[in-house]
Amino acid sequence: MISEKEYRKRRVRLGRKLKPMSVAVLFAAEPKTRSNDTEYPYRQNSNFYYMSGFKEDKSALVIVKGAKKFHTYLFVAKKDKTQELWHGKRLGKEKAKELFLVDDVFEIDEFEAKFKEFVDKKQHIYHDFTLEYAKVKVLKRYTKNIQSYENLASYVERMRLIKSKSEIKLIKKAINITKKAHHRAMKRAKKLQYEYELQAHIEYVFKKNGAYSDAYTSIVACGNSANTLHYVNNNKKLMQGNLILIDAGCEYEYYASDITRTIPVSGSYTKAQKEVYAMVLHVQKEIIKMIRPGIFKSTLQKKSEELLCQGMIDLGILKGKCKELIKEKAHKKYYPHGIGHWMGLDVHDECPYKKPNGEEIALQQGMVMTIEPGIYLDAEDENIPKKYRDIGIRIEDDILVTKNGCENLSCAIAKEIDEITRMSNSIR
């Protein structure tokens, strides 16, 4: 768990970045309607949670800065017995004062009046430009004399790039639970009939181990379904002789994991499947070896494209010289996505890849990113040798940048051909 002291340190760091005579506001996420009068399970706004650690809706965090000093205020929902009967207990103002290291706590009903006080004689407003909540309109109602509006989200998301020890611990916990889920899938796939059955086994493990939410909608794609990158129907039969691409990760205490493995339905890979799998795995290992502080993600991307393109030439999937094929972007037909992305509070962490001046941000110690090369060979593509058609393979791990290199946080999840084969054929 992350301590309240760490949340306070984040607020102090943010407060120091703000211009004098300013007010910064972060709002909690609003509940989202699923249909009619039912809602999706509530999930807090990641930036608000990063700065506050508060999980309830109808709340806000405000930093008010004068010439030099700043104060922090938390707004929470009022305790209401009738509402709590239907929707659960609220923390309330008094309890929040005990738990959170802020200068004061108010009820959210007071927000408009308090904000009017806060902005008096202030010159700058910071808020999340992406939000369209009703209360965002309040920010503009009382800010006629404001000189500038700045996107607070960009400040918070830059802070989120570097993970603390506490954050890394939570990510490791999420990955450990996801490891159990993927291993269960490997052991059970042979005996199941449909993709959704395998999905149920995976998400059962998540919840059984305290991860009450998946980090994203699980992909369980058998055969040619794997060649649809965001396939989430998960309703096809598990056909003997095919591969299953499983992209699934849980969220533990708001921190994500993101793992992909590609396993055989029957428990063993065909010769052609082994050839493609071994090529993708080789590329992934080579890219992971490159990760260290100072290297750029674009460098990893370029190298992954070169290696995968050459691998496809060697297998006869592409014909020609590697440099020319890359120049023509011929390889993009079979490798259309990036080598990876930031990961943390969001599975695709909303952190920048470039500085405000447009320069790319180099990898630094404490960053966490995925590495996920893939090859997608559609069953109907007659340009591909017949033996390789109907194969989609992606292998994805979660990587922490360390002082002198990197650590594969998900290395304990089986991915070698022999490892997966043994696990797929173990008696369970």
Please give the positions annotated as active site. Answer: 37, 230, 247, 258, 337, 341, 348, 372, 376, 394, 396
Does residue 252 contact residue 177 with C-beta atoms inside 8 Å? yes
How many helices, marked H, and strands, marked E, lie in the chain?
13, 19
Buried b (16+ CB within 10 A) or exposed e, 232-259: eebebebeeebbbbbbbbbbbbbbbbbb
Other residues' Cβ atoms within 10 Å of the Cβ of residue 329: 11
Does residue 397 contact residue 261 with C-beta atoms inside 8 Å? no
The three-state secondary structure class of 389 is coil
Residue 404 burial by Cβ neighbours in a 10 Å radius (0-12, 13-18, 19+): exposed
Strand partners, 73: 62, 104
Residue 272 burial by Cβ neighbours in a 10 Å radius (0-12, 13-18, 19+): middle
Residue 169 tokens read as 């611990």
Interaxial angle between packed helices 165-188 and 417-424, expressed in degrees from 0 to 180 and rounded to the nearest 10:
60
Sequence-ordered list of residues with C-beta below 8 angstroms from that of 15, at least 6 positions apart, any chain: 24, 63, 65, 70, 72
**CA-wise closest residue to 24 among 33, 13, 32, 9:** 13
**CA-wise closest residue to 227 among 100, 121, 86, 378:** 378
Distance of CA 189 to the CA centre of its chain: 26
Does residue 348 contact residue 341 with C-beta atoms inside 8 Å? yes
The three-state secondary structure class of 400 is strand
